[in-house]
Structure 1
């Protein structure tokens, strides 16, 4: 068809150009009349073209970006195609189109200078096209050689391009494919053997194949051949053996597992038939669990068949469940086996049956006891005998009574009810309630029991509420129970008072009488001290408390106690009373004779600490916090000192004052020690207020005639006698007087006259 079109186009172009250019030589034409071609990897295509015009002809064409000429002799520069149809060959390794660009004839010569001049000469009346298709060789992969168990295999092929045409071929015809055009098709067959599979992949002109060999080992089968149901009696003391055989197909030897209800048996057979024997002791069934042949291939589940049934004709004797009976009579609950006869028996005494061959007969016991009853059955076939035992406990119901029925307690306290348990089997559990909540007490024994109860106070009651505990039931260890409606334990519950000792009213920490401020919510109260003191009324919450004399700050803890029936509460109030300081004595007012200092002498304190201060005069108190303190910088005059004593800072303070009049030392000019009692001694007034006194007397020649030295305060008084005890002569004498309190010694003279 394409060739016919090319011929028609050739004549059409020739007609057009003959008509249009009648006055000139017509342009030549060329038409490609060859069909498209396809090669694998590479190929040489023949291109056939047809001309119009005047020979010789030549053409200029392009393929894959390369420019070529046909019919042009490069050596002579002449055109060489003399026929109107011409064929030339092109060798290609890639897909391209053949495109003719120019056609030349005798009237329109080729200009062989370069690409540009060639295109500028000749005729461009060209038509037709041709494609040279170069296909790539595919690379299929059929998979790897394998050995499989069974008769079905999923191929593991792969192809280079999923759009290519692919298909399988095994050349055997012994199996079938799930999809012959799938690289992973599933192949199934019915017998063992090797199969070589060929995977073909086609890409245009290119076809490639790959092979794989799969060895189908198949799978074994096994059948358990039973001679029929095997029956035996396991109670006849005889050993019982069940025998049967197993038939195999496949490749021996076989490893297989026989399974029953309790065990698995691993067996091996080197032949296609195996004979087996197994001991049996109970009803059972044997079957083949698994089979593996010499190739390691296992039988599939549906290829393993057959079962050996084993039946133990021993009666399935069931005497019933063990029971606890509250009382002495019970109806037995054995389950009779089909095809058997039975009978009850017991080694216990005092047991009586209604009809002992009846599986559900009644039985009574003369005593509360645990008994074992045996139900024995005999089967009609093989006379198999079997027994089962049931234990029946005939239990005694318990009895509960209350030994006390009432109590009075305080809210939050416990009460104890005394129970007495008689009869029954310990341990017991007792149930009771307080009309709002139910309680139970367990692990109780026979006899008297003291049970703790914790009733709550009814807040709607002003002073006292009542809780009734109803004891409703008692149950023994075997479940035997007794119920009651009249066992009531009544408890009166007193309201818990709230004591508040309050805060004491103290005008001063040194007060010895304190007004108390207690209160309580309910009930009556009274005071009790924790240390010495007295109350004006110990039942009065606002009593006055008077402390006993104290010598140091004392903490008092007083307790306000409140009682409401059985309830008690207390609260403490704490306060501290400070003692008055003692003794507070600054000393006696006095007149002293000194030059510039003195010592203050307050009484030693038993309680408290003191401080000196100067109220009048000008001087310096060296140690104001000492009871004995030196005062310096004094001059003759009147000095008033205050001694302030406090127990502690901010406490009770007491003051005392002392006045000291300072005068100069009396300076007498002489004395007359003649025994007339008038001016018989030389005295230094005020010396008794000084310390470490030294008094010496010299005559006019500087000889020591008298000396006195005292460490304590002593008043100097000289009677005119010398060191030897004899009176000294009349005349002028010199003396020196010194003491700690003097800033410098006193040096003066005196005259003695007789």
Structure 2
């Protein structure tokens, strides 16, 4: 004979907020929790050895413990079993309601769509040259944007050249290499511009990224970042010269070398011997005393920024007229 009774289904809340009500019909207990929260159902019984929980009258797989954590809405009940396997009657149901989390509406007065762009002067820059970037901040919404900050992290091969009269709105942090441009406000479609002057140290591609942020919520983040690329051109060194006396390509010429303040040229043969070396080379080496063949060159040149650029490669010397 089975002697087991489920006295009640108690609920112990495990989340921060819930509410409890009783139905006017039948006295059912209802608990309301927020979406993402949970609540623990606790079976209080006599002589129980096992349990089975149900939702809407359907057995819940694996829910065989005294406590069950509910996270979804529904009507929950439980059956207890004694050591002989005899079941109790089904407990009174407990209703769980889950309220969705709602996001409060955004006040349109706090929404400002800021946008930023960056463009280089796109000059044919060489190491040591100075050129400019133009930063433009704009507001594409009818609400005036305030407390706006534009940030640009200076690439490693650039030197920032501050311009007079910008100290109040443009700050440069040498430790982080960050240029910060502060703008008090921007009205709708009233762009403001800043011209930054930089000096480039080494050849290669200079990639610059700029971003913008204001006090108000920005509903469009895609236009809060922009980037541009400036190419800095190295010396272009020919890999063939023909010192055969025809007046064409008779010396080893490096175009643009005269724009470098100092240079050192070293020519090495295939056995690793230095066959020519010159400080402040003047594009006048004609390969005198050397046979036709392939040689290795090392050219060091100090650019206008005071940085030594190093160029290495192979050079073919031909005396036969083509």
> Which structure carries more relative contact order (alpha carbon 8 Å, separation 6+)?
2
Q: TM-score, normalised by structure 2?
A: 0.31
Greater C-alpha radius of gyration: 1
